[in-house]
Chains A and B, each alone.
Chain A
């Protein structure tokens, strides 16, 4: 079955807003687990805590913040395993922040020889 990563983008939220939303995220994650679709998932700290690394001409360049400044930042992800794109889109449409943020749905590339942990 194909896997999809649901990349969760969100505008900045106050700690109160984030906390109030917590139970919805737990419920959603539980729903994914109960449906047998959950493969992985994490929430990320804010993009103001991000550091970007590049190596150019052998030199490591470290910059504060994310690569591009946008209104919506990557806030977390789920990796799910479902039948097809329609099923993945249906799960994406139920993510708690989808009403004000956006979810990018990307198929996970199948690389059979990739080493795993």
Chain B
């Protein structure tokens, strides 16, 4: 067992790391220096707390210690041209005491973590770098954990993070909440990063680990943080609701052998009712603001599934209508495929097949698994078992995910046998 002080230091570190780091970066104007100083402070905390006991406010202790370590590091760094000026600023902070650190760390638009999120998700960084930096700085994952989640060598992931931090410093990517005229677009970029993290965990594009749960958990944690920081934006709430509603099915969508269980076949008693309730309440509150967006629409679809007692009692016509609204805003074959599948289940099989016809003729979608799976389902509903078996077999040949492939083969075999 860890000594109490080490455990306390680790707990404080995990809980407050992002908030302390975010404030340090603002005060120091230097991402790397802030991280190094924070690491120093953590090491110091283990020693000091072992000796003197755990302080009353561990987060504030770590903040003060980290700032002193940063001053030490700056003093040692003789190359830094502006270090005198920066030391002066820090000394000022030190003597005045920073009211922001003294009490509970602030929330709302003044929170440094919001600045940090916008910096980590800046469009001047490549998407993989945004994801890695966000998870490392704001999430609770180590570089090694992020590397494993994305099936990348740890050294490569570390390099990706270092390079991103260097670009932030050298190109002077600003550390601030974007001005009003840029905010909607930049916020959409932040939400996209969080949702990509969730989807990476949810769908695992390669390999047989269908649910890389830690990424889903981490994305939801980031979603909660964003809702706390930007409580008035319905799309922020919509994204969190969407992730919670999907994640409510986590335990039910993979069986004991690790095989994918289709939505219809899932044991609904294993759906997480707490997540469904939280997601549904968030969504309802967001929708009342009457500024629907893509995340709220998707969450509304997920909530119709989640709150239905059985597949047959689900309002598929309403789901098809919501997909239609999504397609109107952001046309995409992915949405059309889902809409066609919902139309089929709502009894509008011919309408669904008609919607798929142009997609099936598109060479770019020739290997798109959900398209062939939806096509197979519609054909089966239309009474064409042979065509459905062939479409499932085609979908299985295109599938990268071993678990999904096995399920598609099983369906093809069932139809061929029947």
Binding site for B on A (CB under 8 A): 2, 83-86, 89, 105, 107, 110, 112
User: Interface residues of B: mostly helix, strand, loop or mixed?
Assistant: loop
Residue in B122, B124, B172, B178 whose CB lies within 8 Å of A2: B172
Q: Which residues of B contact A84 (CB under 8 A)?
A: 172-174
Residues of chain B with a CB closer than 8 A to A105's CB: 171
Distance in Å from the Cβ of B114 to the closest Cβ of chain A? 16
Partner of A85, one of B81, B173, B178, B182: B173
- Within the complex, the shortest CB–CB distance from A74 to chain B, in Å, comes to 20
User: Counting CB contacts under 8 A, is B332 at the interface?
Assistant: no
Q: Which of A2, A86, A112 interacts with B81 by CB under 8 Å?
A: A112
- B170 contacts the other chain (CB 8 A): yes
A-B contact pairs, 13 of them (CB 8 A): A2-B172, A83-B174, A84-B173, A84-B174, A85-B124, A85-B171, A86-B173, A86-B174, A105-B171, A107-B171, A107-B172, A110-B81, A112-B81
CB neighbors of A among B177-199 (8 A): 178, 182
**Contact yes or no, B170 A89, CB < 8 A:** no
Q: Give the residues in chain B near A107, CB-CB below 8 Å.
A: 170-172
- Among residues of B, the one whose C-beta sits closest to the C-beta of A87 is B174
Chain B residue with the shortest CB-CB distance to A1: B172
Most buried by A among B81, B172, B173, B182: B172
Which residues from 70 to 103 on chain B have a C-beta closer than 8 Å to any C-beta of chain A? 81
CA A2 – CA B169 in complex, angstroms? 11
Which size class do B's interface residues fall under? Answer: 10 to 19
Query: For residue B124, which residues in chain A have a CB less than 8 angstroms away from its CB?
Result: 85, 89
Q: Which residue of B lies closest to A4 (CB)?
A: B171
A109 nearest CB across to chain B (Å): 8
A112: chain B residues at CB < 8 Å are: 81
Q: How far is the CA of A83 from the CA of B175 in the complex (A)?
A: 12
Q: How far is the CB of A87 from chain B (nearest CB, A)?
A: 8
Q: A86 to B174, alpha carbons, bound, how many Å?
A: 7
Most buried by A among B124, B178, B182: B124
Q: Assuming A84-B173, A84-B174, what are 12 further A-B pairs, CB within 8 angstroms?
A: A2-B172, A83-B172, A83-B174, A84-B172, A85-B122, A85-B171, A85-B172, A85-B174, A86-B178, A89-B124, A105-B171, A112-B81
Q: How far is the CB of B184 from chain A (nearest CB, A)?
A: 15
What residue of chain B has the Cβ atom nearest to residue A109's Cβ? B170
Distance to closest chain B CB from A60 (angstroms)? 34
| Minimum distance in angstroms from A76 CB to a CB of chain B | 21
Which residues of A have CB within 8 Å of B172? 2, 83-85, 107
Residues of chain A within 8 A (CB-CB) of B122 are 85
What's the minimum C-beta distance from B178 to chain A, rounded to whole angstroms? 8
Interfacial residues of chain B within 385-409, with CB under 8 A of chain A in the complex = none
B105-125 vs A, CB cutoff 8 Å, 1 = contact: the mask equals: 000000000000000001010
Residues in A whose Cβ lies below 8 Å from that of B173: 84-86
In whole Å, how far is A7's beta carbon from the nearest beta carbon of chain B?
14
| Complex interface residues of chain B between 112 and 146 (CB less than 8 A to chain A) | 122, 124
Residues of A within 8 A of B174 (CB): 83-86
Residues of B within 8 A of A86 (CB): 173-174, 178, 182
Most chain B C-beta atoms within 10 Å of own C-beta, residue among A83, A85, A107: A85
Give the distance in Å from the alpha carbon of A85 to the alpha carbon of B81 in the complex. 21
What is the CA–CA distance of A89 and B174 in the complex, to the nearest angstrom?
Answer: 12
Query: Cα distance A110–B178 when bound, in Å?
Result: 26
The digit string for B160-174, where 1 denotes a CB below 8 A from any CB of A, is 000000000011111
A88 CA to B75 CA, complexed, in Å:
32
Residues of A within 8 A of B170 (CB): 107
Name the 9 nearest CB pairs between A and B, nearest first: A84-B174, A84-B172, A85-B171, A107-B171, A2-B172, A85-B173, A85-B172, A86-B174, A107-B170
Nearest CB in chain A: distance from B179 CB, A:
9
Docked Cα-Cα span, A83 to B176, in Å, equals: 12
CB distance from A114 to the nearest CB of B (A): 13
Nearest chain A CB to B167 CB, angstrom units: 9
Chain B CB within 10 Å, residue with most, of A2, A84, A112: A84
Q: Which residue, B81, B171, B178, has most C-beta atoms of chain A within 10 A?
A: B171
Q: For A2, give the chain B residue with the smallest CB separation.
A: B172
| A-chain residues with CB within 8 Å of residue B178 when the two chains form the complex | 86
**Cα(A106)–Cα(B171), bound, Å:** 7
A45 and B24 CA atoms in complex are apart in Å by 48
CA of A112 to CA of B81 in the docked complex: distance in angstroms? 9
How far apart are the CA atoms of A89 and B124 in the complex, in Å?
Answer: 9
Least CB distance, A25 to chain B, in whole angstroms: 25
